[in-house]
Amino acid sequence: MRILDVITKKRDGFMHTDLEIHHFIEAYTKDEIPDYQMAAWLMAIFLKGMSIEETAALTMAMAKSGNMIDLSAIPGVKVDKHSTGGVADTTTLVLAPLVAAAGVPVAKMSGRGLGFTGGTIDKLEAIAGFKTTLSQDEFIRILQKHNVAIIGQSADIAPADGKIYALRDVTATIESIPLIASSIMSKKIAAGADKILLDVKVGNGAFMKNVKDAITLAETMVHIGQLVGRETRAVLSSMDEPLGQAIGNSLEVEEAIAILDGRGEKSLRHVCLVLGAQMLNMAGIESDVNVGYKILCELITNKTALNKFKEFIAAQGGNVDIVGNGKKLPQAKIKTRVVCTDEGFIQKIDAGQLGYCAMRLGAGREYKGQKIDLSAGIMLEQRVGDFVKKGQLLCTIHGNDETRIKEVQELLANAITIGNDYIPKTKLILGIIDQRGFQAT
């Protein structure tokens, strides 16, 4: 088949066959198709869209473009969790040991952050000695012994997605639901999980800015899962304000430890427990998600989850002393307090703006491959709906560059809005999407 004919077909709004999609992806992976033709096809998809069946075919073609991890040697139902990205979203660091402690094998492939959204691998690398690069044999061995393992994304896994994503990033084709959905699901399927739980973020600190688009993306991924034989479920969660208090890599590791130790931010804890209860349900551990929620609460209370976190860190070469001593994590040299200049209720905390501030401090990347400052970030002290008095602490900036700290101080003035009107607390969980469709909570 001629590549030009495939591009023309989608340009004119017609559906592709599975064979056309698989041939296009295979040829591009082998460098038999130039970037300009792939870019043209991506733009045609961006403008004309794809059916669920086409998106599923694209997903599987990308998943099969490299190695497929086989987790069949691991007993039990393996449930993977993926977040679409947000600010102060430390859920993986809490969920992995917590759900593993409840008896569900957690085998995760995670990525690095780009821009204002944090990456799990960057956070884990704030722990001295922690290995995020493992062979498949090491990964499976650790998983068999400890029930939990997290590795960085490998070039061998869904390489077509890696090439296509880099091209989408520079051709204005990022914001396409079929392309986003197939990118996420291809990596999840290639990573070998039996079932997939998606945490789809919605709000000013997420890629999906409104509920309608978030539901469409979630339903697309759930349907893809059904079509390829992987049960998939999605939770819609708010990202209109940062999920946790900590924004920044070592700060977020400390916050995850606090949650597992029964302390820490209540909003982050609640979202982790809701996601964890869904994972227990999907794995067949507990049919009632409310009971699953309580089971996970008890694992935090009796320190089982915290001990599993220590075991997980040690298994991948990390320094477990960080659990009892946060100063073993990278520490910023300068800590600058930001206080309230007014009195009233917190009306808004712009998650996207705070994520940008953390990035400017060095906690995130402005371009791929940029070295980040693992100690930099922001520690929030207030949430939307809180009443604050003049002089009360709003947040603390952690950084090592005085010029950037001063820049961030000015930006924070516009990121946290205070007014006289009472504002209710943010609704954290907006709904669940499964094979039955969207159910509001």
Active site residues: 82, 161, 168, 183, 187
Closest C-alpha to 397, from 380, 383, 385, 413: 380
Altogether, the residues listed in the chain come to a count of: 441
Residue 102, token pair as written in the block = 């409840």
Cβ(218)–Cβ(198) below 8 Å: yes
Closest C-alpha to 153, from 169, 132, 167: 132
Q: How far is residue 54's CA from residue 290's CA, in Å, rounded to a whole number?
A: 37
Closest C-alpha to 132, from 154, 100, 99: 154
Q: How far is residue 297's CA from residue 324's CA, in Å, rounded to a whole number?
A: 21
Closest C-alpha to 312, from 89, 101, 118, 82: 101
Q: How far is residue 368's CA from residue 205's CA, in Å, rounded to a whole number?
A: 20
- Counting Cβ atoms within 10 Å, is residue 254 exposed (0-12), middle (13-18) or buried (19+)? buried
Owner of token pair 């017609």: 14
Q: How far is residue 431's CA from residue 433's CA, in Å, rounded to a whole number?
A: 7
Cβ(318)–Cβ(128) below 8 Å: yes
Cβ(349)–Cβ(342) below 8 Å: no
Q: Strands 195-202 and 231-238, how do they pair?
A: parallel
Q: How far is residue 291's CA from residue 297's CA, in Å, rounded to a whole number?
A: 10
Cβ(289)–Cβ(283) below 8 Å: no
- Counting Cβ atoms within 10 Å, is residue 229 exposed (0-12), middle (13-18) or buried (19+)? exposed
Residue 264, token pair as written in the block = 């820490």
Helices assigned H by DSSP within 228-288: 249-260, 266-282
